Amino acid sequence: MPLTTVTGAIWGDEGKGKILDAITEEADIVVKFQGGSNAGTTYVIGGKKYVLHLIPGGALRGKRCLIGSHVVMRADNMCKEIDELGLDIDLGIDPRTHITMPYHLALDYAREKFRDEQIKKSKSNNKKSSGSIGTTLSGIGPSYEQQRSRDGIRFHELVGDKKRLEKRIRENFNYMKSMIENYYGQKMVMPDRKIIDSEYIIKDVNLTLKHCLEVAKHAGNKLRGYLADVSLEVHEALLAGKNVMAQGAQGTLLDICFGNYPKVTSSEPRATAVSQALGIGQYPDKAIGVLKAYITKVGSGPVVTCLDNQRWPVDEQFSDEVAKQIRAKGHEFGATTGRARRVGWPDMVVLKYSSRLNGFTDIAVTRLDLLAGIDPIKVAIAYKIDGNLIEDYPSWDMEALVKAEPVYRELEGFGDISKIRDYDALPEGAKEYIRMIEFWSNAKASIISVGPERNETIYRDFKAF
């Protein structure tokens, strides 16, 4: 009954797409178990880049792909992804999967604007726990909120009785409109996000009930044939000895329970949450944590090793030269929003916490090649908070993390490693860093990525299942 999970170890954007593509050859099924359109996973195959937000990466390798019940699916985006991918996808969507509707985006947008107004009034800054979350404005929070309040629309309803669906959409639209206009004092508009001359621009687009109904009608007709009981299918596949790979979105520090609340997503992107998310009675046999060789984060909230002066959005006139170098070389901009990611030194305090929560058996280190030319490389091994030495990450205490000062260990830098395919051939500085990762995570760094293509990878006795 082999079940392998691939999840982000830190704040997301770790390079899960590269790792998933590199190791899915042996998988029979690839299933996305949480998240929604808020996180894009990037794959580079044969020099061509694919960015998928909802479809599991196994589609690029002809695998059976499933969408689990804890995903919140923006149905119009799913239709668009299927069309743009242009492949014959073997896809199944669980009937219990909740649907993100345009009014969810409108509420998300209204809340962020309201929070920004409040933070400006209080003359606060984005390092603290108050103020805007810095969401991708993808409607994720409101979608999960309606899941919990039992008011959401699920996939079986989207493809079911049309009159009942129209009634549900009308009720939800009117409820959201009332909340947006009367409580938040905002207009019923959706965010139209664009990157113009490297600047992140949001324009307001009026939202009507008619548009919501049209989106649902089109998506329901197009996606009807993908209905599948994912919980049952995964259960039966595991009983039959098939290889199932569960694909997470975002990263552990964005977990709704164990992340930097409230600067978090609305789901549980941990390996240990996969059983509940898929409705199966089995924990992962192998849990692969994907760890970028340096820290990045999109959105507000404290990053102890931040090299961008804790500023969000990023303003590079205040950034350290190392942050500028890494961001330029690594194209560190969000796959969903295009916003510049904050960059920080590696942080073993966070890694230790994340590995404990996930039970990582393996670590996949990505983008190690991008540290080439940086000397020394600083790695945080503890924090100082109010004069006390802290080695365990206080994820819940935002004020403490704002005050935290990193305690660094300096490692010898190294040159270009992009052509290396054998661990023993790595320079000593790189190997010392890998040993630190293994010590703090209590897991083997069995995959080391030194480039975007699947063959630009060092494997150390790795088996996917």
Q: Answer whether residue 253 is part of any domain.
A: yes
Judgement on whether residues 66 and 115 belong to the same structural domain of the protein: no
Tens-place pLDDT, residues 192-217: 887 766 667 889 999 999 999 999 99
CA distance 282 to 371: 38
Residue 238 maps to a domain: yes
Residue 34 has, within 13 A of its CA and on its CB side, a CA count of 28
The rounded distance, in Å, linking the Cα atoms of 140 and 107 is 10
Q: Domain range spanning residue 454?
A: 3-97+228-459
Q: Are residues 106 and 69 in the same domain?
A: no
Q: Tell me the one-letter amino acid at 248.
A: G
Burial readout 109-125 (b: 16 or more C-beta within 10 A, e: otherwise): bbbbbbbeeebeeeeee
Q: Are 100 and 133 in contact (CB under 8 A)?
A: no
106 and 78 both lie in a single domain: no
Query: Which of 195, 225, 255 represents a domain boundary (last residue)?
Result: 225
The domain spanning residue 413 has which CATH number?
Answer: 3.90.170.10
pLDDT value for 128: 45
Q: Does a structural domain hold residue 465?
A: no
DSSP symbol at 13: -
Q: Residue 336: its pLDDT value, please?
A: 66
- Integer Cα distance of 441 and 64 in angstroms: 32
Q: What is the pLDDT of residues 381-401, one digit of tens each?
A: 999 999 999 999 999 999 999
- The pLDDT of residue 131 is 61
Under-50 pLDDT residues of the chain: 125-129
Same domain flag for 173 and 257: no
* pLDDT number for residue 54: 96
CATH of the domain at 181: 1.10.300.10
Using the 3D structure, point to which of 225, 244, 268 is the last residue of a domain: 225
What is the count of structural domains for the chain? 2
Pair (41, 147) in one structural domain: no
Q: Are strands 244-247 and 3-8 parallel, antiparallel or unpaired?
A: parallel
Q: Are residues 89 and 148 in the same domain?
A: no
3-state secondary structure 352-364: HHHHHHHCCCEEE
pLDDT at position 197 is 66
Q: How many residues does the chain have?
A: 465
Residue 131: inside a domain, yes or no? yes
